[in-house]
Amino acid sequence: MEYTDRERALLEGWPTVTEEDLAQMNDLFPHYLFFRREEDLMGLSGVKLWASCCGHKEARPYLTREMESDHWSLLDLGHKDKLTCPWCGREVTAIDLSKAKGRKGLRHYELTVVLHARGEALYADALVLRKDYADEAALTARPEAMCSSGYYFARGEVMQADHQFPGTKDRPFITWERGRLGRRKLVQEPFKSGSISWYSHDSYSILNREALEGSHFFRYCGFFDRWEYRPGGGRGYAAKFHELISYLTAYSIYPRQIEMLSKAGYWEPVADLVWERKKNAAAMCWEEDDPRRAFGVDKRELCWIMAVHPPMESLAVRNYVGRTWGKTWDLAFCVDFCSLWGPHLSSMVVLRFLRRYRLEPGRFLRYMDRVFSGVDIEDVYYADLFELYRDYLDAAYGLGWCLEHSQVLWPEDLSAAHDRATAELEERRCRQERARQAVSRKERRLKYEFELDELKIVFPVTAAAIRREGKALQHCVGGYAERHLTGVTTILFLRRSDRPNKPYITIEMDGNQIRQIHGFRNEAVACAANPDRVSPRVLHREFLATWLRWLQAGSKRNEDGTPRLPRRKKERSAELTDRTA
Q: Is 81 exposed, middle or buried (0-12, 13-18, 19+ CB in 10 A)?
A: middle
Pairing of strands 205-207, 199-201: unpaired
H/E run at residue 121:
strand 121-131
Rounded CA Rg of the chain: 41
What is the chain's pLDDT, residue by residue, as a tens digit (581 residues)?
Answer: 789 999 999 999 999 999 999 999 999 999 999 999 887 655 557 889 999 999 999 888 776 555 566 666 777 888 999 999 989 999 999 999 989 888 889 999 999 999 999 988 999 999 999 999 999 999 999 999 999 999 999 999 999 999 887 665 678 999 999 999 999 999 999 998 887 777 889 999 999 999 998 888 999 999 999 999 999 888 888 899 999 999 999 999 999 999 999 999 999 999 999 999 999 999 999 999 899 999 999 999 999 999 999 999 999 999 999 999 999 999 999 999 999 999 999 999 999 999 999 999 999 999 999 999 988 777 789 999 999 999 999 999 999 999 999 999 999 999 999 999 999 999 999 999 889 988 988 999 999 999 988 899 999 999 999 999 999 999 999 999 999 988 899 999 999 999 989 999 999 999 899 999 999 999 988 888 888 899 999 999 999 999 999 999 999 988 888 888 887 665 555 555 555 55
SS3 268: helix
Backbone angles phi, psi at 136, to 5 degrees: -65, -35
**3-class secondary structure per residue, 326-380:** CCCCCHHHHHHHHHHCCCCCCHHHHHHHHHHCCCCHHHHHHHHHHHHHCCCCCCC
HSE-up (13 A, CA, CB side) for residue 565: 14
SS3 130: strand
pTM equals 0.77
Q: What is the DSSP letter of 532?
A: T
Q: What is the DSSP letter of 17?
A: P
SS3 323: helix
CA 296 to CA 315: how far, in whole Å?
9
Residue in 307, 296, 304 with CA at minimum distance from that of residue 264: 307
What is the edge-to-edge ordering of all strands in the sheet holding 45-51?
A: 57-61, 45-51, 32-39, 91-96, 82-84
Cβ proximity of 137 and 75 under 8 Å = no
